[in-house]
Chains A and B, each alone.
Chain A
């Protein structure tokens, strides 16, 4: 077997892993809902705790920041609410997603199944959590009469785009973190810095000529492609190009890595 065919085989193996992993919806949906249920098992409110703790966080931040920056409540609160929800979606996935294969070691070492299955479970879990959080936004939107409009239709394009990006980044980080165990710690500490460079508790305009600080932050764009359409504004061209570029570049690099190291992942656990 020469080099090219070996390479093609490895790519085919990685590709088949993704296709068959995604098709196992009954497994990854169960793993995801099970892990949410488990966390809130011994509490009376159950998963509603997620919604409540998020609401408390938002109320505190909302009042404090509105007062500090003298924003208008009506404009700021829906913006803050969505910012926090999507920040929590992405940052949870970067943090927990990095440990995907370590979390599911018990299954990986017991039964041969596609690795993508576990990535899908992790992403689906974050989607379910965000759905619980979005309840708060619906209430806020109702109070401040923020209605969706035709720009909201952008979501039909931007939600798949966001999922494509979390797909490769979760897979990429999960592979790297399985081999190098300090990566989750590195991610965690970097994210606390990135939070301040993400327009969540302030508007990007407020940065004036320092706006470049948020324009070079990929998470800021990833939040905007979801937040703007819900607020009935179109995502900017820069938002879209960064997100599309990341999806293409990210998947290219991730597929190369996944093809090369897929068969070794179990040995690293």
Chain B
């Protein structure tokens, strides 16, 4: 890959809208305009979750990412760390283009591949095999590659006859095998992974690590969100510590992890 691969963000903000039952109804929205909505003042919500903004028109939104600025280049393996709801997954979705920034810039140069959650990107009613075919079409792979990928996934996921069963019959571990195999079947410039390594039995984990190792070395930039310290230390050379959607620390993986642990200790001490 001779092309330049980079991710550039400047003052990136991302708001997620929150709708209650009533805001979801057209009937209610059309006829209830005259009612005075309750105005809630912003409250601090501990150190988990983004900042919740209540606007006077009754709708609320979560500021999931707040004035983020960074530059990632080829060779960066970045671990995303932070408490639950810090914005780690949202950042991965934003880089993949699924969520678009509310404000600020986010320029991603290079192709992205992501594994965000086990139940996304697959139809539970379809068999594993059919899901693989649909995924290869989505990726725009030529049909001559499909057989090759099918074999690869079949061998790697090792699901036997289950590959021809609807995936709603799979156990979580089997689903992980398939999802992991599918999303790692083709290399891409930027690899985004959310909390996935760590499920599955030992035999599988061993093979998964080899595959992950190969994939990571083939990708230009890797972003890995995880709560597992050993995983981050093992796979990443840099880390980004997020809290409430804001960048707390960014830099060498070991020093950022220490800063995060120090901060959590202080929070607990209080």
Interface positions of A (Cβ within 8 A of B)? 24, 26-27, 30-31, 34, 38, 106-113, 176, 179-183, 186, 263-264, 266-268
Interface segment among B1-9, B48-56, B123-131: the answer is B123-131
Given A110-B121, A182-B24: A30 in contact with B98 (beta carbons within 8 A): no
Bound CA–CA A107/B125 (angstroms): 14
Given A38-B126, A109-B98, A112-B97: A180 in contact with B29 (beta carbons within 8 A): yes
Interface centre among A38, A108, A267 (most CB of B within 10 A): A267
A182→B25 contact, CB < 8 A: yes
CB distance from B90 to the nearest CB of A (A): 10
Bound CA–CA A189/B99 (angstroms): 34
Bound CA–CA A108/B138 (angstroms): 11
Residues in A neighbouring B41, C-beta threshold 8 A: none
> What DSSP secondary structure best describes chain B's contact surface?
loop
A-B pairs, top 9 by smallest CB distance, nearest first, are A110-B121, A112-B97, A180-B26, A263-B100, A110-B120, A181-B24, A182-B25, A27-B137, A109-B120
A107→B121 contact, CB < 8 A: yes
Residues in A neighbouring B122, C-beta threshold 8 A: 106, 110
Chain B, 76-126, CB within 8 A of any chain A CB: 93, 96-100, 112, 114, 116, 119-123, 125-126
Bound CA–CA A264/B59 (angstroms): 15
B125→A38 contact, CB < 8 A: yes
CB distance from B177 to the nearest CB of A (A): 17
B98→A266 contact, CB < 8 A: yes
Contacting B16 at CB < 8 Å: which of A26, A108, A179, A267?
A: A267
Residues in B neighbouring A176, C-beta threshold 8 A: 26
Bound CA–CA A31/B96 (angstroms): 22
Given A183-B26, A186-B26: A266 in contact with B134 (beta carbons within 8 A): no
- B165 part of interface (Cβ distance < 8 Å): no
- B212 part of interface (Cβ distance < 8 Å): no
CB distance from A48 to the nearest CB of B (A): 20
Bound CA–CA A31/B130 (angstroms): 10
Residues in A neighbouring B266, C-beta threshold 8 A: none
B134→A30 contact, CB < 8 A: yes
A111→B121 contact, CB < 8 A: yes
| Known contacts A27-B138, A180-B24, A264-B17; 19 further A-B pairs (Cβ under 8 A) | A26-B137, A106-B120, A106-B122, A106-B123, A107-B121, A107-B138, A108-B98, A109-B98, A109-B116, A109-B120, A110-B98, A110-B114, A110-B120, A111-B114, A176-B26, A180-B29, A181-B24, A186-B26, A266-B98
Residues in A neighbouring B29, C-beta threshold 8 A: 180
Residues in A neighbouring B96, C-beta threshold 8 A: 111-112
Write 20 A-B pairs (CB below 8 A) sorted by A numbering. A26-B140, A30-B134, A106-B123, A109-B98, A109-B120, A109-B121, A110-B114, A111-B96, A111-B114, A112-B98, A112-B112, A182-B24, A182-B26, A183-B26, A186-B27, A263-B100, A264-B17, A266-B98, A266-B99, A268-B19
CB distance from A9 to the nearest CB of B (A): 12
- B133 part of interface (Cβ distance < 8 Å): yes
Interface positions of B (Cβ within 8 A of A)? 16-17, 19, 24-27, 29, 93, 96-100, 112, 114, 116, 119-123, 125-126, 130, 133-134, 137-140
B25→A268 contact, CB < 8 A: no
A30→B137 contact, CB < 8 A: yes
Residues in B neighbouring A31, C-beta threshold 8 A: 134
CB distance from B96 to the nearest CB of A (A): 6
CB distance from B120 to the nearest CB of A (A): 4
A268→B126 contact, CB < 8 A: no
Residue of A nearest to B21 (CB): A181
Contacting B119 at CB < 8 Å: which of A106, A266, A268?
A: A106
B121→A34 contact, CB < 8 A: no
Residues in A neighbouring B27, C-beta threshold 8 A: 182, 186
CB distance from B41 to the nearest CB of A (A): 24
CB distance from B198 to the nearest CB of A (A): 20
Residues in A neighbouring B134, C-beta threshold 8 A: 27, 30-31, 34
Residues in B neighbouring A181, C-beta threshold 8 A: 24-25
A180→B137 contact, CB < 8 A: no
Residues in B neighbouring A112, C-beta threshold 8 A: 96-98, 112
Residues in B neighbouring A24, C-beta threshold 8 A: 140
B120→A267 contact, CB < 8 A: no
Residues in A neighbouring B98, C-beta threshold 8 A: 108-112, 266
Bound CA–CA A27/B134 (angstroms): 7
Residue of B nearest to A103 (CB): B123
Residues in B neighbouring A38, C-beta threshold 8 A: 125-126
Residue of A nearest to B120 (CB): A110
Residues in A neighbouring B97, C-beta threshold 8 A: 112
A111→B138 contact, CB < 8 A: yes
